[in-house]
Amino acid sequence: MKTLSALLLVCASVAAPSWSAQAAGKSVDQVLNAYIQALGGQSAIDHIDDRQIEAKVRHAGKVVYFWAKPNKVVRIAHGEKVGFDGSTGWMLSRKKKITKLPKPEQQELEMNANPVRYVHLHDLYSEIDPAAPERLNGRAVDVLVVPNNIGSTKFYFDSAVHLLVRIEEFGVTSAYYKQVTEFSDYKRVDGIQYPFRILHTTTAPGMKDKEIAVSSITQNVGLKPEFFTRPQIGAVTLGGKR
């Protein structure tokens, strides 16, 4: 009996590290490196200097996104222009009034115009933790977590194809409601996999879902830096009247 007990104890001690490693999931770099390779590789991604995305927003019509390295963005829709020049976000209305772009809208703008920006996750966040694998809509996913003072942002990568499929954020945009972005319908453009469907949802009451269906992506179009500069419309006070 003592021999059997000792044998079981040894087996348990050998199996424990393997189980713990499986429960903990892959390392941050393992997940991100697999993601980069699934997209098309770092070289292909670095080759892109700028991008134009034409899309339709459900119940809102056509929209065009422009992006340039490293993080300049412009969105044009319904005669309005919204931009981020790398440091400041702004909105230009059809009446030529400029207001400041709220931080949550800036984050969504960057996400839509550059959905592969998360290859630079280490640059975007100072702390990233691996989490135990989960199942999402019946599929196994690898999970990375970025903590904040209130909650966290969770990134879900399909374990089979290694592409980013979901982001859940709580505590950055809102201290009370969860923000979710889903990426799907990946297609290859110039050697890079892009999601042609992006869905933004929130648990905040009264807010509608935003579904973006991409129709075309054109890259290295030669956008000029001044294209992303905040327009100078006389003596304008951000958020106020002329």
- As averages over each run of 10 residues, the pLDDT of the chain (242 residues) reads 43 39 75 99 97 93 97 95 94 92 91 97 96 96 94 97 97 87 98 98 92 98 94 55 34
Gap between the terminal Cα atoms of the chain: 89
Q: What is the pLDDT of residue 234?
A: 53
Q: Which domain holds residue 128?
A: 26-228
**CATH code assigned at 132:** 2.50.20.10
Q: What is the predicted pLDDT for the residue at 6?
A: 45
Residue 89 lies in a domain: yes
CA nearest 53: which of 121, 108, 115? 115
For β-strands 72-77 and 80-84, DSSP reports them as antiparallel
Residue where the block lists tokens 């001044």: 226
Please check whether residue 145 lies inside any domain of the structure: yes
- The answer to whether residue 188 is domain-embedded is yes
Q: What is the pLDDT of residue 2?
A: 45
Q: What pLDDT sits at residue 60?
A: 83
The DSSP call for residue 102 is: P
Number of independent structural domains in the chain = 1
Kindly give, in sequence order, each residue whose CB lies less than 8 Å from that of residue 68, ignoring residues fewer than 6 positions away.
Answer: 49, 50, 51, 223, 225, 227, 228
State the pLDDT at residue 136. 95
d(Cα 105, Cα 89) in Å, to the nearest integer? 9
Answer yes or no: is 238 within a domain. Answer: no
In 3-state terms the chain splits into helix, strand, coil percentages (rounded to 5) of: 25, 40, 35
- Residue 10 maps to a domain: no
Residue 202, beta-bridge partner list: 179
